[in-house]
Amino acid sequence: MERPAPLIIVMKTMTPVGILGFRGYSGAELIQILSRHPHAEPVLLEHREAEDRPRPLGKSGPRRIEFSPESVKAAGLAAVFLATPPDVSMNFSGWLLEAGIKVIDLSGAFRLGTAENYQRWYKEPHTAAALLPEAVYGLPEFCRSRVATARLLSNPGCYPTAANLAIRPLVAAGAIDRTHGIVCDAKSGVSGAGRTPSLKTSFCEVTENFSAYSILDHRHVPEVLNTSGIEENEFSFTAHLIPIDRGILETIYFRASEKIASAEDLVKIYQEQYSNEPFVRIYPPGQVPDVHAVAHTNFCDIGLKYDARTRRAVIVSAIDNLGKGAAGQAVQNFNLMMGYAETAGLL
């Protein structure tokens, strides 16, 4: 009798990637995404005192190592996600890059291009200015080729992601009468403020409330100006805090140029721009998204209404601030940097 063929088990090689700042909301989201990623093994990087550490994740959770040059090198990390405040990202990015490790930074440390811009909008000096020329701003829909070759990736802010995906194609197509300006009314869930306790984000302050903040000087404004190619005097942005845990919805108002005759004209511009994009969904004319449509996803949904008589247009752009606005987009960028399928771990 013929013997059965031997059973051959093929072990998949996983790429170890570190997460610094895994206790925050974006860091926790990174753990969830990378734990289901087909090619990545999340490694949690400890850099706090023992008394600050949370309960163990259990035997099935990701492994943890001390965050030091020696342990990071021994772990063979290919990349590190920095889900940390800007000052922490500036402190650690340099030696990680010197060790040959790719860096995906979720803070605003490297988004604005120059130390002068950072000082103006973040009200603090930049302590790693030498790295700014190398940092690639990672909004994949507009700079995919640069992301693919980046060593230091600056993940966009949540508000600018939703705004730029809605505004930039229309500016490039000449669809906006810029003499009338652009108004962006943005609303975000409480997780966008981070996990550090504060009076502003406490339950009693947030529940049954709706408030505006950082009026006329929000640090995300320059990201919209730089990416969409508009001037500061053309753009009015106001951020609001709403009592939901996650999600961003932006309502964008402008006067269309004379070349726009109908809502279909605006939708066509978006369809031509995003026809091959896996994470941008365009709604039919007259339909608009809400936060539930994008919760726990890496999608940006865009819909609009248009009044041809007055040429007034209203665009609604929705994302999950922890997904496409933070961790999801960071993994999308990581996939491009590593040569994986762009959607790996995200669909």
Model confidence pLDDT, tens digit, residues 119-155 = 999 999 999 999 999 999 999 999 999 999 999 999 9
Give every residue of the chain whose pLDDT is below 50, as ranges.
10, 50-51, 55-58
Helix, strand and coil percent figures for the chain, each rounded to 5: 35, 20, 45
pLDDT digits (tens, 9 = 90+) for 286-334: 999 999 999 999 999 999 999 999 999 999 999 999 999 999 999 999 9
pLDDT number for residue 2: 62
> Is the CB of residue 281 less than 8 Å from the CB of residue 187?
no
Which residues are known catalytic residues? Answer: 158
Strand ordering across the sheet containing 40-46: 63-66, 40-46, 15-20, 79-82, 102-105, 152-154, 136-137
Residues written for the chain: 347
pLDDT number for residue 199: 65
pLDDT number for residue 10: 47
Backbone angles phi, psi at 206, to 5 degrees: -90, -45
Domains of the chain: 15-156+326-338 (3.40.50.720), 158-321 (3.30.360.10)
How far apart CA 216 and CA 71 sit, in angstroms, is 44
How far apart CA 56 and CA 295 sit, in angstroms, is 27
State the DSSP string of 78-114: SEEEE-S-HHHHHHHHHHHHHTT-EEEE-SSTTSSSS
pLDDT digits (tens, 9 = 90+) for 184-198: 999 999 887 776 777
pLDDT number for residue 192: 76
pLDDT number for residue 51: 41
